[in-house]
Amino acid sequence: MGTKWMGRGLWLSLGFCFGFFVSYVMFYNEIRPRQYSENLSFPTKELSIPVPPSRATSPRSSPKRLSVKAPRGDGETSGVISEFQQLIQAGEGEKARLVLEEGLRKYGERPELLFELGSFYSKYMSNSLKAIGYLERVLELDPNYRNAWEELTHIATFPQDSRSAGRAVRLLQQAQQKNPQSILAQTAYGEYMARSQRLSEAAQAFQRAAQLSGATDETRYRLADIYYQMNQPDRAERIFSDVVRLREQQFQENPNDVTSRQLELAKIDRVRALIRVGRQQEASDILQPMLDRSPEDLVLRNLSHQLRLAR
């Protein structure tokens, strides 16, 4: 009898261990790559971090922010970067590094080459401290180099070690203090704070950015999103409403799939905020036409369900 139960216990234990292993593999391959593929909501025309093959991509959990492919160097350095990427794809990391270093010797300190080298050390060599040194130099040469801000924020948010995390955070803090008129510096710091769930400080940074000349609807959109997370739907709804008006104008001036989707996403978030503040009729007036056009859209159907429950 005892032997029989011991045998069953052994099989149960093995089954539990196998289930845990499968769950861990699914987590590592599905969730962790998303950390590396996130694009920040920096409000400029240049663009998201270039993602190499080793940093798997997946859709962002919140599909609000659309990115544009960043330019890959100028006429002189584009060949260097292209060769670097080909070697990376072929698994020749050491040769790829040497190509960038030779490019720097030949063309001097070009921000795009320094950025690629910094990203190489961060993504492929797990050497964030060395990566930060290159990224810091990129921003000294070109404070508006958005990719460097994004990579620095990524290192601060998903650190490989405490030293690199501390240095990246200090750089972000110092940058937003020294550059109060820089939208990129403010939004980079704000994004780090938001990802760290320090939402009040994130809101303050995005407020400063939204008040600066040149701030786009993306900056205001992210601010509204943070207010919504802070359980301040009234403030979020007012900003979402402004963003909807801006995006309606953009769509009228340039109707295409991108501007249409951006407008729809802003409307969806405004509907969520309206439901939260109890303005169900306004929410219905916005939601119903979208639902009529796309009756099978699961997001819209879920919002419709929330609206019925709120009434």
Distance CA 116, CA 90 (A): 17
Which domain covers residue 272, as residue numbers? 233-311
Q: What is the 3-state secondary structure (H, E, C) of 244-301?
A: HHHHHHHHHHCCCHHHHHHHHHHHHHHHHHHHHCCCHHHHHHHHHHHHHHCCCCHHHH
Judge contact between 209 and 43, C-beta under 8 A.
yes
Residue 126 has pLDDT above 50, yes or no: yes
Segment 70-120, tens digit of pLDDT = 445 567 899 999 999 999 999 999 999 999 999 999 999 999 999 999 999
Distance CA 40, CA 143 (A): 17
Residue 105 lies in a domain: no
Query: Domain count of the chain?
Result: 1
Per-residue pLDDT at 19 = 53
Per-residue pLDDT at 187 = 96
Residue 243 lies in a domain: yes
Residue 151 lies in a domain: no
Helix 183-195 to helix 146-157 angle (10° resolution) is 20
**Token match 């990246």: residue?**
168
Query: How would residue 130 be classed by pLDDT, with cut points 50, 70 and 90?
Result: very high
> What is the arithmetic mean of pLDDT over 122-145?
94
Residue 299 lies in a domain: yes
Residue 182 lies in a domain: no
Residue 111 lies in a domain: no
> What is the arithmetic mean of pLDDT over 277-306?
96
Residue 53 has pLDDT above 90, yes or no: no
> What is the arithmetic mean of pLDDT over 279-300?
96
Segment 166-198, tens digit of pLDDT = 999 999 999 999 999 999 999 999 999 999 999
Residue 301 lies in a domain: yes
Residue 263 lies in a domain: yes
Helix 183-195 to helix 162-178 angle (10° resolution) is 140
pTM (global) more than 0.85 = no
**Token match 């690629």: residue?**
116
